[in-house]
A and B are shown apart, each in its own frame.
Chain A
Amino acid sequence: SQELEQSPQSLIVQEGKNLTINCTSSKTLYGLYWYKQKYGEGLIFLMMLQKGGEEKSHEKITAKLDEKKQQSSLHITASQPSHAGIYLCGADSSGGGADGLTFGKGTHLIIQP
């Protein structure tokens, strides 16, 4: 079965600084999803990457997919308190998505003022 390893497990960053979260898959990635979860709440969809080399940005968050390395990275520029939470990567291992997603264990992000 597919496994996703996220690094780091937790991250404390001073407000205004940049940061990167990585997600590495044990198998071929057909689709990679990034979600954000605030403590005690549900998951909010951030971005979906489907093609090797694909890069997407939304506001100050950029995600990239390196298909050869079976890896995705999430980069936040000029972090703000609103970026705090748990970031989860999810992967579609079947190619069609019908089997659900496999998730990493998450990266806990804390933004220090």
Chain B
Amino acid sequence: NAGVTQTPKFQVLKTGQSMTLQCAQDMNHEYMSWYRQDPGMGLRLIHYSVGAGITDQGEVPNGYNVSRSTTEDFPLRLLSAAPSQTSVYFCASSYSTLGLYYEQYFGPGTRLTVT
């Protein structure tokens, strides 16, 4: 199993550009989520999905869109990048049973810089 994979590993964008951060998992996990990690702020939840076709907002959703068309993939879209979105982005997935969710497995992260 590859686990949770993220691409790209590094990205530099100019203000106003758009891009999609890719996330895929091969563990058949229902639950997937996106976090951003900033110095002094810790990890903050952006969006999450409890299954294909279902997404919801986390703590800091503004400026980001997500969709979940398959169990495996959960891309994060930045429609118009801003310097405040400079961060390290982590995707995570988790299995669930009987409505309970368990430990999340994290991808290696994408380092995004917006100039």
Q: Is the CB of B90 within 8 A of A101?
A: no
Task: Collect the chain A residues with CB atoms within 8 Å of residue B94's CB.
Answer: 97
Q: Nearest Cβ distance between residue A23 and chain B, in whole angstroms?
A: 12
Please report the C-alpha to C-alpha distance between residue A47 and residue B35 in the assembled complex, in whole angstroms: 20
Among A11-19, A38-46, A59-67, A69-77, the stretch that binds chain B is: A38-46
Size of B's binding interface in residues, CB under 8 A:
28
Please report the C-alpha to C-alpha distance between residue A3 and residue B53 in the assembled complex, in whole angstroms: 30
Please report the C-alpha to C-alpha distance between residue A25 and residue B79 in the assembled complex, in whole angstroms: 35
Please report the C-alpha to C-alpha distance between residue A35 and residue B105 in the assembled complex, in whole angstroms: 10
Q: Which of A1, A33, A41, A100 has the most CB of B within 10 A?
A: A100
Given A42-B106, A105-B40, A106-B42, verify A96-B90 contact (CB < 8 Å): no
Given contacts A33-B103, A105-B41, 12 further A-B contacts (CB under 8 A): A1-B59, A35-B106, A41-B109, A45-B103, A45-B104, A45-B106, A88-B42, A96-B99, A96-B101, A99-B48, A99-B58, A103-B35
